[in-house]
């Protein structure tokens, strides 16, 4: 039996529409698990509108995206399409035709983006597992701000076929779940590469970046990372201070690459129907039009060179993983574009929410955000990125951090 739920929007705008709920018995490693899917990813029979009026009249998708097909093959049941920052082009989750997505911990605050609804539905207890994307922060930042687990696998580990692109160079599929075990099981079911979150971390060499680039603006976040380091150390990991030379130059390539690729995707729509974009999205796309072909090629060459150099340096120093905060701020108020941070610094929210996560998209390394204990009701995310050992390394370390 298949029942089709009515199209709806929940009060916090996390779910943009409910989709077919398949009542047939399922088999597979995710048998019967309800899953929400970001409205950037095709689900057969349901329009993909990407949070934008540009696609208000989109026809229903003819086929599932590759990752959705894999979910169904593993026995999962897709129950909802979820809110996304418009066309995934933003880290806050409060720019979309449906309005802002609201944080379940405090509805006045952002969820983070762009996989805003995927994080919110998990945090609200509506589903144990959700699928999003991650081009610079889009799974990990909302996971951090909403207090759930967000995994960005290594580049190419999960297929992006059937996903509306932001940046073909940097787009990843992201998985969000209630805990490390749930996310690890989903990753294994989707790839056949099973991980063991209970695997020992003894002997794993974990670097803590010390470059000014990695600055955090909230002492509670710094303290949470220190506690995470203590937990890993108590489990036998070896903690070392590390520097990543060239990190500022590497990070500077991000906006050129993403901006140039996004503008190329949208330039005709932007010229023909600019009023259908949210003003903030249209402004970002127009600004990206200034990048030249030379800018883009130079950025790509710089990215490849520095990524190779940083990987070689970390491997030469024996570093297996990096430990740091996911975001330098906790969830800000909806609509706030600048805030005074707890350390007294005036911070522009959007670039801050991208800063600590985007290097790992440029590098292609897997990274996970796991929640630390909340402070004053606001979640904090701890990030682990793997230099070697892949998703197994980050999930085992994340599980140890979650266990305290």
Q: Which residue has the higher pLDDT, 136 or 9?
A: 136
Give pLDDT, residue 21.
55
- For 38-74, what is each residue's pLDDT tens digit? 999 999 999 999 999 999 999 999 999 999 999 999 9
Question: Which of the residues 52, 114, 355, 402 is marked catalytic?
Answer: 114
- Is residue 114 part of the annotated active site? The answer reads yes
pLDDT value for 385: 98
Domain boundaries, the chain: 2-191, 205-248+293-403
68-105 per-position pLDDT tens digit: 999 999 999 999 999 999 999 999 999 999 999 999 99
Residue 160: what pLDDT?
Answer: 98
3-state secondary structure the chain: CEEECCCCCCCCCCEEEECEEECCCCCCCCCCCEEEEECCECECCEECCCCCHHHCCCCECCCCCHHHHHHHHCCCEEEEEECCCHHHCCCCCCCCCCCCCEECCEEEEECCCCCHHHHHHHHCCCCCEEEEEECCCCCHHHHHHHCCEEEECCCCCCCCCCECCCCCCCCEEEEEECCHHHHHHHHHHHHCCCCCCCCCCCCCEEEEECCHHHCCCCHHHHHHHHHHHHHHHHCCCEEEEECCCCHHHHHHHHHHHHHHHHHHHHHHHHHHCHHHCCHHHHHHHHHHCCCCHHHHHHHHHHHHHHHHHHHHHHHHCCCCEEEEECCCCCCCECCCCEEECCCCCEEEHHHHHHHCCHHHHHHCCCEEEEEEEEECCEEEEEEEEECCCHHHHHHHHHHHHHHC
Determine contact, residues 94/49, Cβ cutoff 8 Å: no
Q: Is 355 a catalytic residue?
A: no
Catalytic annotation, pick one of 38, 152, 369, 402: 38
Asked whether the CA dihedral 84, 86, 87, 90 is positive or negative, the reply is negative
Closest to 385 measured CA to CA, from 370, 402, 372: 370
pLDDT at residue number 5: 27
Interval 222-244: pLDDT, tens: 999 999 999 999 999 999 999 99
Asked if residue 297 has pLDDT above 80, the reply is yes
The alpha carbon dihedral of 245, 251, 252, 256 has a sign of: positive
The pLDDT tens digits of the residues spanning 131-180 come to: 999 999 999 999 999 999 999 999 999 999 999 999 999 999 999 999 99
Closest CA to 75 of 185, 162, 228, 172: 185
The answer to whether the 2-191 and 205-248+293-403 domains have the same CATH topology is yes
Catalytic option among 52, 116, 118, 138: 138
118 catalytic per annotation: no
Beta partners for 359? none
Sorted by sequence, the CB contacts under 8 Å of residue 355 that are 6+ apart come out as 213, 251, 328
Topology adopted by domain 2-191: Amidase signature (AS) enzymes (3.90.1300)
pLDDT band at 11 (very low <50, low <70, confident <90, very high): very low
Q: Which CATH class is domain 205-248+293-403?
A: alpha beta
* Res 15: pLDDT: 79
Q: For residue 12, is pLDDT > 60?
A: no
Structural contact between residues 101 and 125, judged by C-beta atoms closer than 8 angstroms: no
pLDDT of 17 above 90: no
């Amino acid at each position: 039996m298949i029942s089709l739920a009515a199209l709806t929007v929940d009060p916090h705008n996390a779910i943009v529409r409910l989709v077919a709920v398949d009542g047939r018995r399922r088999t597979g490693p995710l048998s019967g698990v309800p899953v929400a899917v970001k409205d950037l990813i095709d689900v057969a029979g349901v329009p993909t509108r990407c949070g934008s009026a540009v696609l208000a009249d989109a026809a229903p998708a003819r086929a599932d995206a590759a990752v959705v097909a894999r979910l169904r093959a593993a026995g999962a049941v897709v129950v909802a399409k979820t809110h996304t920052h418009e066309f995934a082009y933003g880290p806050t989750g409060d720019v979309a035709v449906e309005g802002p997505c609201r944080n379940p911990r405090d509805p006045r605050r952002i969820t983070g983006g762009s996989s805003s609804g995927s994080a919110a539905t998990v945090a609200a207890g509506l589903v144990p597992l959700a699928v999003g994307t991650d081009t610079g922060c889009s799974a990990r930042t909302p996971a951090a701000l909403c207090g759930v687990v967000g995994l960005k696998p290594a580049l190419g580990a999960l297929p992006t076929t059937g996903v509306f692109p932001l940046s073909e160079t940097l787009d990843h599929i992201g998985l969000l779940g209630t805990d490390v075990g749930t996310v690890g099981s989903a990753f294994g079911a989707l790839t056949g590469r099973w991980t063991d979150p209970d695997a020992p971390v003894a002997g794993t060499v974990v670097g803590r970046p010390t470059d000014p680039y990695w600055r955090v603006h909230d002492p509670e976040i710094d303290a949470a990372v220190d506690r995470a380091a203590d937990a890993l150390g108590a489990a036998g990991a070896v903690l070392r201070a590390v520097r990543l030379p060239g990190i500022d130059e590497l990070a500077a390539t991000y906006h050129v690459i993403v901006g140039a690729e996004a503008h190329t995707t949208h330039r005709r729509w932007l010229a023909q129907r600019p009023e259908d974009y949210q003003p903030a999205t249209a402004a970002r796309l127009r600004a990206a039009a200034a990048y030249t072909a030379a800018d883009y090629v130079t950025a790509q060459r710089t990215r490849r060179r520095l990524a190779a150099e940083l990987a070689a340096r970390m491997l030469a120093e024996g570093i297996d993983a990096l430990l740091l905060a996911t975001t330098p701020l906790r969830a800000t108020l909806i609509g706030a574009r600048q805030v005074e941070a707890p350390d007294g610094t005036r911070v522009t929210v959007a670039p801050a929410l991208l800063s600590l996560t985007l290097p790992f998209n440029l590098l292609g390394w897997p990274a996970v955000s796991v929640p630390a204990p909340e402070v004053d009701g606001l979640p904090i995310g701890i990030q682990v990125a793997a230099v070697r050992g892949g998703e197994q390394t980050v999930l085992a370390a994340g599980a140890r951090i979650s266990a305290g």
